[in-house]
Amino acid sequence: MTELINIAGLYDLKGKVALVTGGAEGMGKESCRYLASAGATVAVADINEPWARATAEEIVAAGGEAKAYEVDLVQESSVVSMIDAVRRELGRLDILVNVAGLQDREMLEATTLELWDKLHNVNLRGSFLTIREAARVMRADGNGGRIVNISSMGSVHPVFGGLVAYNSSKSGVNGLTRNAAYELAKDGITVNAVLPGNTTTAGQARSPGPPVDPEMIKHMLPPLGRTGKPSDIASAILFLVCPASEWITGQTLIVDGGHLNK
């Protein structure tokens, strides 16, 4: 006789501690809400400490568990002390979700080294630093772990101009994901990436760059007929940090409403 499967258990994060960078707003904030709703205690990390604190306070007011941490991903010492503080204050570290990122745009010939470095320092070097430090803690504790990096659909195929530096940094995130997954698998730590398509957030709208051609925007709607919502990305992240996905690692999951499939 067969038994029904405890599907809720496959999405249960009770007793887990999850660190989310970029938790002050946008996809990062929504991811904090999703992980807390699945039972995790969430460390909401961001350079924007007041907004990270607001995210944590909203989760606690709703009955979840969360605490804010200020971090500047560009500063190695800031990342090291943040991971240290999360492990010390919340008792463990099971999940790392790298959402923080900059989305400045500039056409190739106008891209300065300063812009190139700015994007790579946050998007790629920052993710490397958090993974390195989290991996040290996860390995030492011996409980395995889950790491998810937010890349971009543009990292595998250009979608419009002005994203040379940005998409290069995100292509680096894909390589970082696969190589970290390879090295950490023997310790039961999975590393995957989610590659969002065009997702409506205030941060994206504020990002500096040349005006986008209105003709091009008409072609930006993916086959599923709407732009992405932060919850579309948060659900993919949730899957990749839950027991349901324990045999998935080194993958780059495109979540774009079918955009690259046109």
Ligand X SMILES: NC(=O)c1ccc[n+]([C@@H]2O[C@H](COP(=O)([O-])OP(=O)(O)OC[C@H]3O[C@@H](n4cnc5c(N)ncnc54)[C@H](O)[C@@H]3O)[C@@H](O)[C@H]2O)c1
H helix or E strand, kind and range, residue 29: helix 26-37
Q: How far is the CB of 7 from ligand X (least distance, A)?
A: 28
The identity of residue 135, as a single letter, is A
Q: How far is the CB of 193 from ligand X (least distance, A)?
A: 10
Nearer to ligand X, 39 or 175 (CB): 175
Residue of 19, 100, 115, 240 that binds ligand X (CB under 6 A): 100
Spell out, one character per residue from 11 to 50, where the chain touches ligand X: x when CB under 6 A holds, - when not: ----------xx-xxxxx-----------------xxx--
Does 196 engage in binding with ligand X (CB under 6 A)?
yes
Size of residue set near ligand X by CB under 6 A: 28
Does 94 engage in binding with ligand X (CB under 6 A)?
no
CA distance 195 to 253: 6
27: left (phi over 0), alpha (psi -120 to 50) or beta: alpha
Pick from 184, 15, 197: which is nearest to 90 by CA?
15
Residue of 31, 152, 190, 249 that binds ligand X (CB under 6 A): 152
225: left (phi over 0), alpha (psi -120 to 50) or beta: left
Does 99 engage in binding with ligand X (CB under 6 A)?
yes
166 carries an active-site annotation: yes
CA atoms within 13 A on the CB side of 211: 3
Q: How far is the CB of 14 from ligand X (least distance, A)?
A: 26
